[in-house]
Amino acid sequence: MNQKQPSPTVPWQGAIWKAAIHVIIVLALLAVFHQIVPRFARTFEEFDLMLPAPTVLVVNMSNYLVGRWFMAIPAVLFLLALDVAVLFLFHSIPRRGSILGSLWFAMGLAVLALIVLLTIMGLMMPLNWIVDGLATA
């Protein structure tokens, strides 16, 4: 008679968490490209290194974001709003929506992970060259 009924779950609760994780990762990447990459670029210039293609790409992306922040902010906000909209749309579909939302989330994480790996690789290659050069000197 007084059976405890399960609490109703918000159908988009999963979408909110997935979107929040994407937003946090994108904000962290923007901070890295705005604060950390320019410092590495100055170090590479001081050592007058011939930079490999991944490093040039990372430095150019950073320069673009720093130099055109007024264009980058609306573009990033638009992409994040699109991400949130797609996640909410998928999670509103009965039965298979959660699976589609999870696939969209995983795809977004994969793209962000590739950007992170490219950034790390681009910054570490010349840094290793500097350390090796200093060790042999």
Average the pLDDT over 114-125 and give the result.
94
Domain range annotation of the chain: 14-124
DSSP 35: I
**C-alpha dihedral (88, 92, 95, 100), degrees to nearest 10:** -30
Interval 57-84: pLDDT, tens: 999 999 998 998 888 889 888 988 999 8
Q: Report the share of the chain in percent with pLDDT over 70.
A: 91
Q: Are 62 and 38 in contact (CB under 8 A)?
A: yes
Whole-number pLDDT of residue 76: 85
* pLDDT score, position 112: 93
- Of residues 45 and 2, which shows the higher confidence score? 45
> Which residues are CB-contacts of 44 (< 8 A; sequence separation ≥ 6)?
51, 55, 59, 126, 130
Q: How many CB atoms within 10 Å of residue 54?
A: 18
The overall average pLDDT reported for the chain is: 87
